[in-house]
Amino acid sequence: MVRKRACDLAFLALASLGRTMQIYLPIAEVSVNAFLLLGLGGLVG
């Protein structure tokens, strides 16, 4: 729970600055926010 909250806070801090980093996923042919991927990994792990 603490890890998820830390990821959420980091994402919100960077999103508020407008400096989100996008990663292109060639298999899905879509770009995804890098911090969203890290947050999902933290939730699963």
Report pLDDT for 37: 83
One-letter amino acid at 38 equals L
Report pLDDT for 30: 76
pLDDT tens by residue, 4-35: 666 666 666 666 555 567 777 777 777 778 88
CA distances from 11 to 21, 27, 28 (A): 10, 24, 22
Report pLDDT for 5: 65
**Whole-angstrom distance, CA of residue 14 vs CA of residue 44:** 22
**Whole-angstrom distance, CA of residue 15 vs CA of residue 3:** 18
**Whole-angstrom distance, CA of residue 39 vs CA of residue 34:** 9
Report pLDDT for 22: 73
pTM to 2 decimals?
0.40
The tokens describing 33, both together, are 């926010």
